[in-house]
Amino acid sequence: MKNSIFILVLFLSACQYADPVSDLAMCHSSGDAVAAFSMFASDKNFQLAHPSPTPVEGTFDGKMIEFPVDGGAIGKGYLVENAKKTNKYLLLFHEWWGLNGNIKNEASLWSKELGVNVLAIDLYDGKIATNAEDAGKMMQANSATRSKNIILGASNYLGDNVTLATMGWCFGGGWAFQAALLLHDKTKACIMYYGMPEKDVEKLKSLEADVLMIHASQDQWITNNVVAAFEANMKLAGKKLTVNRYDADHAFANPSNPHYNEANAKAARAAAKAFLKKRS
């Protein structure tokens, strides 16, 4: 009994004094990347890093679609079909705000830039936040099981004769990676902007996609230590990971964020475009 108490004390001490995000990696069970990221919603500094988004002007030339989802209500997404017929799709995953105007605009822009169809998947079932408090509540209430079923429903809607890439930002960056794991060899590439990586090496071994991680070196949550651990785990799993580092803060690439870093965002976008073009 004394030994058990001693081990528990050591564990809690490690959780108390570790690096804030290394702490999450240590204090969450393997494969709990989504839950680990959701804990940031209670961090006041994380909330301050996400001021209310400003309106985004865009073409919004896509359409909302619906599709069956196992075990629950219908799923939703915003689909932009490219003018040129193609069986290539980019799946986009929204930030903690939900499927708002910024993400819909990104869907239109990426469709034009890449010459592919783009489906922005709604993991919040129609809910959209306009302030950090509501966004945090929605992110913490998000069900991983429901989100995985939505992703599978979207994949079934698109059919088998397609090739996929995934991309997401922040909350959606982690989900872009989880989708790549979930959809196996359907997915050829994954781009995660400052999202929480998967740390379960056995899960990583099942990955079929090449991965580009857009890392903000000033990020207080997806820290340099988190990214270094991800690189090591991907190497152990025998998987290909490219990390592009930018001297910027978390959420730097969101043009609706008042803290938008235009120079680094454009550089990251160019890298993401080249990465996807090479694998399309």
Report d(CA 151, CA 115) in Å as an integer. 22
pLDDT at 141 over 50: yes
Give pLDDT tens digits for 105-130. Answer: 999 999 999 999 999 999 999 999 99
Report CA torsion sign: 272, 193, 181, 88: negative
**pTM of the entire predicted model:** 0.90
In the structure, what pLDDT confidence band is assigned to residue 16 with cuts at 50, 70 and 90? Answer: very low
Look at residue 58 in the predicted model and tell me its pLDDT.
83
Q: Is residue 189's pLDDT more than 50?
A: yes
pLDDT value for 32: 84
Which one, of 82, 67, 63, lies nearest residue 156 by Cα? Answer: 67
Domain ranges of the chain: 31-278
Pick the CATH number of 31-278 from 3.40.50.300, 3.40.50.1820, 3.30.1330.100, 2.60.40.10: 3.40.50.1820
CA distance 66 to 68: 7
Q: What is the pLDDT of residue 259?
A: 86
Residue 176 has pLDDT above 50, yes or no: yes
Residue 190: pLDDT band by 50, 70, 90 thresholds? very high
Residue 15 clears pLDDT 70, i.e. is over it: no
